[in-house]
Amino acid sequence: MPTHYRACNLCEAICGLAIEHENGKISSIRGDEQDPLSRGHICPKAVALQDVYEDPDRLKYPVRRTINGWQRISWEEAYDEVVANLRKVQEKHGPDAVGAYFGNPNVHNLGSMLFSGAFTKALGTRNRFSATSADQLPHHVAALLMFGHGLLLPVPDVSRTHFMLIIGANPLVSNGSLMTAPGFARHMKGIQERGGRVVVIDPRRTETAEKADVHYFIRPGRDALLLLALIHAVFEEGLVGLHHLEDIIAGLDAVQKIAAGFSPETVAPLVGIKAEDIRRLAREFADAPSAVCYGRMGASTQAFGGLCQWLINVLNIITGNLDREGGAMFTQPAFDHVGFTGSRGKTGIFGRRRSRVSGLPEYSGEFPVAALAEEILTPGEGQIRAMVTVAGNPVLSTPNGQQLDKALAGLEFMAAIDIYINETTRHANIILPPTTGLETEHYDIIFHILAVHNTAKYSPPLFEKEPEQRHDWQIFQALTERLSGQPGNGMQPQSMLDFALRAGPYQLSLKQLAEAPHGIDLGPLQPCLPERLFTPGKKIPLAPEIFVQDITRLTKEIENWKTATESHFPLLLTGRRQLRSNNSWMHNSYRLVKGRERCTLLIHPEDARKAGIEDGQEVKVASSVGAIQIIVEISSEMMPGVVSIPHGWGHRRDGVQMGVAQSHPGASINDLTENSRIDELTGNAAFSGVPVWVGPPGNNL
Ligand code: SF4
């Protein structure tokens, strides 16, 4: 039976797959043992590649919404109608009257990565949004201001480190996020087997915390305080060791001055971790032969996400753990997007413009998605009247989804590039569905930049697309040509990829990659500073002004925490990552959603007792913006006072055409999250720590 080798592009881990198939049918999907990055690792989600390919609900041809339902139309009709309607709105109300939203799968698709830029430029609007600001914007802002490029993100060197401090992340389930680490369990075991330690800080005893050497609960949103206390202890106990970084660091004194106000003894009662434990953690981190601090969703999607990502970099730097084996390192990918754009001065721009209604900062041509609904709903010049969404479901994945749902329903026109009629695209007038997964070729431009080992892998398509289908890049190209009135340059993804590989640091070619179906091993991460920096004088500013100023906001918030009185919403809500789910779009795979209910509220036994609820019962959860009903799971894995709901669920809505998802709907956490809760510094949505009330369904607050 023929075997097709490819990289899974469903999540960030880019696992190597070996897919056995015959006569257009897949008989098995397993991990590719010879893949130099994933070495045979695979997770249960990989089968979704087959399920999505075979899904009868998946759109393959353009459709138009009519009063009699969805009607199939030709590609030419669809392109012309989309462009005519967008232009009509722009001619009447100005270029910014069209908004665009790009969902997470865009960065997992070669065609979209290469061709969507020209499309957004041709749209000519400043009202651009993406999933970045619902996820990881603080990482980019910290990287831009400290290393000079928003994508120059330090990656934990997990295969060599001796101490890993994990804050608000669950890599045993995610296999790394902004840290492509397929088979993270193997890396974690390796740390422990070489005598190292893994410490997890999280308000839930996650799957990673369960296997770690030590786990500390922390109240959501207070990680920046813990980081400041760790940095304080490093200075106070004489543990600073810049080593090889000595000549390229500026601003050490400023950081010491800031951290001086946050002793472990001051911070301990606020974060719920004893001062002696904080001091011991600081000592162990600084004294380890190598160490790395890594913080993700819990430390990013919160009110002080920017401060957290800055302070994580600071902790790694002042202990000499940046750019050294076993520390936080930078990759050297074969398609060197960072080097390519950086050498042309395209490193990222922060705060050049502000959003019209709430004044949130722009990052590299995008406004924070928390502002999207208000930009549609608030009248005035620049109001969004038409939208294009691309591979995204912001109704489920962005804060206050109900508000956005209503906003989209009131648009003059909406087009979606998507394979499903989901909670967001049901509002579209026209849907243009691209090919997906197994019908497409793939080279991962972004996640090789974030991988724990340098590799390169090209995946050809497994199945031919049907003649009437279109790839994403063909859709972007057709729309771009019509919007700009200019013919395309004739380039296709393969020629662009080949060009970038040849111009890259290893001077590979697409032919070489095609001849290596398991991928090419380019070696472990290597020290590369200061050459890789894009900062003035190739120095790392340890205390960029905007972070220093944001400490004042943190200090004010501490006073609020200290003086808080009893609230109508006594519990704090956090999200959680699940092995069989990735955002909102894999819930139409029966193999992934079958079995016990997965969209549940986790709550500590004492909080459940106070709320008068029992395990397995359907309960009501309410916040300042909405309420949902959800099955409860009582578990001491939750910190008292904190509850958790996974995100991406909530499929029971009129007009959705995803049969499996609708029969396993769950409830949307984002019907509870608030669009006004953001990290004011970066504009990222602050999902973590939303105040909620929980009680029996018949009860009210
Ligand atoms: S971990 Fe991610 S990349 Fe790996 S098989 Fe699962 S979904 Fe695919």
593: Cβ below 6 Å to ligand 1? no
Beta bridge mates, 63? 72, 431
What is the tens place of the pLDDT at every residue in 217-256? 999 999 999 999 999 999 999 999 999 999 999 999 999 9
Q: What's the gap in Å between 13 CA and the centre of ligand 1?
A: 6
Confidence label for 698 from pLDDT (cuts 50, 70 and 90): confident
What is the tens place of the pLDDT at every residue in 428-437? 999 999 999 9
pLDDT at 9 > cutoff 90: yes
Kindly give the residue spans of alpha helices, DSSP state H, lying in 485-595.
Answer: 493-503, 510-514, 545-563, 590-593
Question: How far does the chain reach from its first CA to its final CA, in angstroms?
Answer: 61
User: What are the Cα distances from residue 323, in Å, to 192, 228, 242, 338, 570?
Assistant: 22, 22, 11, 16, 43
Please identify, by atom number, the ligand 1 atom nearest to the C-alpha of residue 10: 7
Give the separation between CA 300 and CA 133, rounded to whole angstroms.
10
Say how many residues make up the chain.
701
Give the separation between CA 575 and CA 637, rounded to whole angstroms.
14
Nearest CA to ligand 1 atom 2: 11
pLDDT at 353 > cutoff 70: yes
pLDDT at 489 > cutoff 90: no
3-class state of residue 469 by DSSP:
coil
What is the tens place of the pLDDT at every residue in 445-465? 999 999 999 999 999 999 999
Mean pLDDT of 137-147: 98
442: Cβ below 6 Å to ligand 1? no
Task: Identify whether the C-beta of residue 316 lies closer than 8 Å to the C-beta of residue 331.
Answer: no
Please identify, by atom number, the ligand 1 atom nearest to the C-alpha of residue 174: 1
Give the separation between CA 322 and CA 329, rounded to whole angstroms.
6
**For the chain, which residues make up each domain, given as ranges?**
63-135+344-443+464-481, 154-329+534-546, 565-695
3-class state of residue 624 by DSSP:
coil
Give me the residue label for tokens 């690792």.
41
Mean pLDDT of 648-664: 96
Tokens of 46: 């990989």
Testing ligand 1's pocket by substitution, the residue of 8, 51, 173 carrying the most ligand atoms inside 8 A of its CB is: 8
pLDDT at 122: 98
pLDDT at 700 > cutoff 80: no
Q: What's the gap in Å between 42 CA and the centre of ligand 1?
A: 6
Task: Identify whether the C-beta of residue 435 lies closer than 8 Å to the C-beta of residue 469.
Answer: yes
What is the tens place of the pLDDT at every residue in 150-180? 999 999 999 999 999 999 999 999 999 999 9
Confidence label for 518 from pLDDT (cuts 50, 70 and 90): very high
Q: What's the gap in Å between 592 CA and the centre of ligand 1?
A: 13
Which CATH number describes the domain made up of 154-329+534-546? 3.40.228.10
Domain 63-135+344-443+464-481 CATH (choose: 3.60.60.10, 3.30.1330.20, 1.10.8.60, 3.40.50.740): 3.40.50.740
Task: Identify whether the C-beta of residue 615 lies closer than 8 Å to the C-beta of residue 659.
Answer: no
Q: Mean pLDDT of all residues in the chain? A: 97
Testing ligand 1's pocket by substitution, the residue of 5, 9, 12, 15 carrying the most ligand atoms inside 8 A of its CB is: 15
Which CATH number describes the domain made up of 565-695? 2.40.40.20
Q: What's the gap in Å between 44 CA and the centre of ligand 1?
A: 8
Q: What's the gap in Å between 366 CA and the centre of ligand 1?
A: 28
Please identify, by atom number, the ligand 1 atom nearest to the C-alpha of residue 38: 4
11: Cβ below 6 Å to ligand 1? yes
- State the virtual CA torsion across 678, 682, 683, 688 in degrees, nearest 10: -30
Q: What's the gap in Å between 334 CA and the centre of ligand 1?
A: 21
Please identify, by atom number, the ligand 1 atom nearest to the C-alpha of residue 175: 1
Tokens of 287: 């004294």
Q: What's the gap in Å between 182 CA and the centre of ligand 1?
A: 7
309: Cβ below 6 Å to ligand 1? no
Please identify, by atom number, the ligand 1 atom nearest to the C-alpha of residue 31: 5
Residue 40 neighbours by CB distance under 10 Å: 16
Mean pLDDT of 671-694: 97
pLDDT at 701 > cutoff 70: no
Residue 617 neighbours by CB distance under 10 Å: 15
User: What are the Cα distances from residue 549, in Å, to 173, 306, 658?
Assistant: 35, 12, 47
182: Cβ below 6 Å to ligand 1? yes
Give me the residue label for tokens 């390169």.
456
Residue 693 neighbours by CB distance under 10 Å: 19
Nearest CA to ligand 1 atom 6: 43
Mean pLDDT of 98-118: 97
